[in-house]
């Protein structure tokens, strides 16, 4: 993996390059970024650059012996650790190494659900167990085989739990030329004792344009479809890839119907939606729907503020946004966005969808119900 293969993140790339050029490579670093932002790909590209035998100004050469092995993820001094589904207490991540290599090469922006699907273990609990921690200590106690640095990339250390304390001494005082790269999505779920021993590298979510460009240039997606998907994906390349499997935008009509019932305070219809339609979506589609709704409301705010050059919509979606923007204030829309964001957070934590979406709908009724519509206005 080379830096040039990774979407955006130019500032992060510059920072990582400078740490090598200035000989300031910290032995333990935490790459913290949301799913689908490219943080795992950045960690691999960084390790490849560090051990490249013919470094270029802004990237690894991609052709030396070390780079060739890194490209295939088979370098003897490159080690991975990741959540897996242990069948026994002695199982370690290396059991699934070939599957890991195949999954990463096919999708370097992968999320946990994608990895779980590759393991054919959708309903099992992911974990990085104590046997894995002991195996890491054993592997890193050995000298580097052929590279300058021996590298361990741990993906999702959130799943390490208390057994991560077994690694503290090794992280704080590793053998010479040993590099820990932890790649995480949720800082709150990582052991504080580990965070305090690492240097933070923040990876921001990608903007819509970057995701759209990736879909068009790398995956040959039609420009209009890529635009729709990038809006829903909200900077998450993994979410965008998931949405490609759907023939069309599945959320637009659902959003229209739901908002129609909300702004007209149609109680029975709202209850039916929350009892039937939202629960059957499933957790991931509920999250995608909320992201889509959030971004649609933000597009409405842009129209209201006369920033049409930033609006990403076309056709029926644009028509809806223009009509809706004429009937609600910016304050109402901002409050609605805040509620949707809080609901997204709760969906991620497996809250009951019937209760959650009913509560959201009723709060949105309170926000919108006092709006006076001009006579004859078709707001949806």
CA dist., res. 29 & res. 27, Å (int)? 7
pLDDT digits (tens, 9 = 90+) for 303-353: 888 887 777 677 777 888 888 888 888 888 899 999 999 998 888 788 899
Identify the band that residue 370 occupies on the pLDDT scale cut at 50, 70 and 90.
low
**Spatial contact of 59 and 3, defined as CB atoms under 8 Å apart:** yes
* Mean pLDDT rounded to a whole number for the chain: 87
Identify the band that residue 372 occupies on the pLDDT scale cut at 50, 70 and 90.
very low
Q: Which pLDDT score is estimated for 101?
A: 95
Q: What is the DSSP letter of 110?
A: -
CA dist., res. 202 & res. 270, Å (int)? 40
Q: Which of 3-17, 109-123, 222-236, 335-349 has the largest mean confidence?
A: 3-17
Mean pLDDT within 277-291: 86
Burial environment of residue 6 by CB neighbours within 10 A (0 to 12, 13 to 18, 19 or more): buried
* pLDDT exceeds cutoff 60 at 375: no
Q: Which pLDDT score is estimated for 376?
A: 42
Mean pLDDT within 43-72: 96
CA dist., res. 79 & res. 96, Å (int)? 13
Q: Which pLDDT score is estimated for 373?
A: 44
pLDDT digits (tens, 9 = 90+) for 150-169: 999 999 999 887 777 888 88
Half-sphere exposure of residue 209, counting CA atoms within 13 Å on the CB side? 4
Does the pTM surpass 0.95? The reply is: no
What domains are there in the chain, each with its CATH number?
3-205 (3.40.50.300), 249-368 (1.20.272)
* pLDDT exceeds cutoff 70 at 378: no
Percent of the chain residues topping a pLDDT of 90: 44
Give the other-Cβ count within 10 Å of 27's Cβ: 18
Cα-Cα end-to-end distance for the chain: 47
């Amino acid at each position: 993996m080379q830096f040039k293969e990774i979407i955006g993140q130019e500032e992060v790339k510059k920072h990582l390059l400078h740490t090598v050029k200035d000989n300031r490579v910290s032995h333990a670093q935490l790459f913290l970024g949301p799913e689908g932002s490219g943080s795992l790909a950045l960690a691999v590209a960084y390790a490849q650059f560090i051990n490249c035998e013919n470094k270029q100004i802004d990237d690894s050469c991609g052709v030396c012996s070390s780079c060739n092995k890194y490209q295939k993820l088979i370098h003897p001094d490159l080690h991975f650790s990741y959540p897996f589904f242990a069948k026994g207490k002695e199982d370690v991540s290396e059991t699934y190494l070939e599957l890991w290599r195949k999954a990463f090469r096919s999708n370097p922006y992968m999320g946990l659900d994608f990895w779980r699907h590759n393991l054919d273990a959708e309903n099992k609990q992911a974990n990085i167990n104590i046997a894995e921690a002991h195996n890491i200590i054993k592997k890193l106690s050995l000298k580097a085989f052929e590279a300058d640095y021996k590298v361990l990339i741990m993906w999702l250390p959130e799943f390490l739990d208390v057994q991560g304390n077994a690694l503290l001494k090794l992280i704080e005082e590793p053998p010479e030329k040993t590099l820990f790269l932890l790649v995480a999505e949720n800082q709150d779920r990582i052991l504080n004792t580990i965070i305090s021993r690492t240097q933070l590298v923040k990876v921001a979510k990608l903007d819509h344009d970057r995701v759209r460009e990736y879909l068009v240039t790398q995956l040959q997606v039609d420009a209009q479809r890529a635009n729709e998907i990038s809006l829903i994906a909200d900077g998450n390349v993994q979410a965008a890839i998931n949405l490609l499997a759907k023939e069309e935008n599945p959320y637009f009509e659902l959003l229209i119907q739901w908002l129609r019932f909300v702004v007209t305070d149609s109680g029975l219809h709202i209850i039916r939606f929350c009892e039937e339609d939202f629960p059957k979506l499933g957790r991931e589609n509920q999250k995608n729907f909320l992201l889509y709704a959030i971004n649609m409301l933000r597009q409405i705010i842009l129209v209201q503020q006369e920033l049409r050059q930033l609006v990403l919509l076309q056709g029926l979606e644009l028509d809806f946004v223009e009509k809706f923007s004429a009937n609600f204030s910016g304050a109402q829309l901002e409050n609605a966005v805040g509620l949707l964001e809080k609901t997204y957070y709760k969906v991620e934590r497996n809250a009951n969808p019937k209760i959650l979406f009913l509560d959201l709908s009723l709060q949105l009724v309170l926000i919108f119900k006092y709006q006076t519509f001009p006579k004859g206005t078709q707001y949806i």
